[in-house]
Structure 1
Amino acid sequence: MESIDNQWKKFLEEGDNLSFSLIYKKHIDELFSYGISLGIPTEICKDALQDTFYKLYITREKLHHVENITAYIFKTFKNCLINLNKKERHREKIVSFPNSFSIQVTVLDDIISNEKAELIKKKVESLLSKLTPNQREAVYLKYMIGLQHKEIAEVLNINEESARKLLYRAMEKLREYASQDNHPESLFLFTLLYLIR
């Protein structure tokens, strides 16, 4: 199968709908999970997905500068989420954009037995809850989605060095909390997730 970068090139140069479809299929589930993890309601996530890919499709002639399609799609999606959430908030007079980032740990179910998976899942979620929202988001983008530091920086609108530091500090905090709370299995999970990528 062709790489996403090759499919992106083909879509830009030839307007190839099959390539666009493959890009869509590759990213749709990860984007939806990302939106839910940001604390955005399901319907707004669905609308943002539609807006993101519609915008991508109709503006392709102007997107030849985009080198990393995955980072670009995540950044565009996040901006759509923010804009749609603001409109919805204005309509419903909700106080503010959710300032949380939660990660639902589901990878464990495929790795170990359900009983132990639930226990470790709770421990990992407990550890993650001690991180700042930005740290949780960076950990999610790195270990759940598999983005590189440069891509994470683009999605979070920070420079690459800041993304590296953010992830480093997050992992240091996780190690510290895991050792304090005696959760060595949780650190094993993060190591495993890193090696899987």
Structure 2
Amino acid sequence: MASIDLNWEKFLGKGDEASFEAIYITYVDDLFAYGMGLGYQRETCKDAIQDTFMKLYLCRNDLRQIENIAGYLFKSFKNRLIDLARKNRNNDSIESMEDRFTIEVTVLDNIIENETRAILKKRVGLLLNQLTPNQQEAIYLKYVVGISHKEIAVILNMREESARKLLYRAMEKLRQKATEANLFDKTVVLTLINLFCQLM
């Protein structure tokens, strides 16, 4: 059993505070980046994270049916962001905010040599900007966070098959854009394939 699953089990079973802290540490940075990617302000993201984990702690006895903690946290966090933003904005601005997810290409930091990292990050960033906000959000959840297709479907309010198609089409679009004449070299194409092959 993975350590996060073990911590989740111990937290649900005993209210173990060390396990709760481990869960928080595991997901807090990814949640914050996700909120920023959705276009929310830093303080709103911080408040939503605090509220999400407070709810998690207080309602743990009602969460025994939850099998995927990551999916639950990201869905709860996104809903809380929307609730907080509604206090300060009208519904139209909330809806438009949900349609502008953007990815920061930080996942490359650990796999690309220092001397080529800046160039490749810029090029891959340009490629990712060719995707729709939904495609970017799905790639972030799948590749960076490691959430299943089923959980992505829940977060994005779509069927699991639709989530699979969304990721597949995003992958195909990345490959198409990367191989257009004189735009990107072979290194970038291979990097993208290696980065995103698990989306298939």
The alignment's TM-score, normalised by the length of structure 2, stands at 0.88
Structure 1's 87 and 184: CA in aligned 2 closer, same or farther, altered over 3 A? farther
Letter of the 2:63 counterpart? L
Q: How far apart, CA to CA, are the structure 1 residues paired with 2:104 and 2:187?
A: 17
Answering whether residue 173 of structure 2 is matched by residue 152 of structure 1, we say: no
Q: Deviations over 1:27-83 (max 9, x none)?
A: 111111111111111000000000100011111111111111111001101111111
Give me the whole-angstrom Cα distance separating, in 1, the residues matched to 2:138 and 2:171.
Answer: 10
Give unmatched runs, 5+ long, in structure 1. Answer: none
- Please list, as runs of the form range in 1=range in 2, the aligned pairs for 1:20-169 lying within 5 A after superposition: 20-90=20-90, 95-96=93-94, 97-98=96-97, 99-169=99-169
Aligned length: 195
Distance in 2 between residues matched to 1:184 and 1:164, nearest whole Å: 27
**CA 1:109–1:139 in 2, change beyond 3 Å: closer, same or farther?**
same
TM-score of the superposition, structure 1-length normalised?
A: 0.89
Deviation per CA, 1:92-142, whole angstroms, max 9, x where unpaired? x99444221111112323333444211111111111111111001011111
- Indicate how the Cα distance of structure 1 residues 187 and 88 shifts in structure 2: closer, same or farther if over 3 A, else same: farther
Q: Bigger CA drift: 109-118 or 14-23? A: 109-118
Contact 1:11 1:20 survives alignment (8 Å)? yes
Provide the alpha-carbon RMSD of the alignment: 2.3
> Hey, what does 1:172 align to over in structure 2?
172
Three-state SS of the structure 2 residue aligned to 1:39 is coil
CA distance in 2, matches of 1:82, 1:189: 35
Deviation (angstroms), 1:192: 3.0
What percentage of residue pairs aligned between the two structures are identical? 52
Instruction: Confirm or deny: 8 A CA contact 1:144 1:193 kept in the other structure.
Output: no
From the superposition, tell whether residues 158 and 144 of structure 1 become closer, same or farther in structure 2 (CA, over 3 Å). same
Residues 162-171 or 144-153, more deviating: 144-153
Note if contact 1:178-1:187 (Cα within 8 Å) is conserved in structure 2: yes
Q: Is the 8 A contact 2:135 2:167 kept in 1?
A: yes
Mapped contact 1:72–1:154 kept (Cα < 8 A): no
Aligned partners of 2:31 and 2:77 also within 8 Å: yes
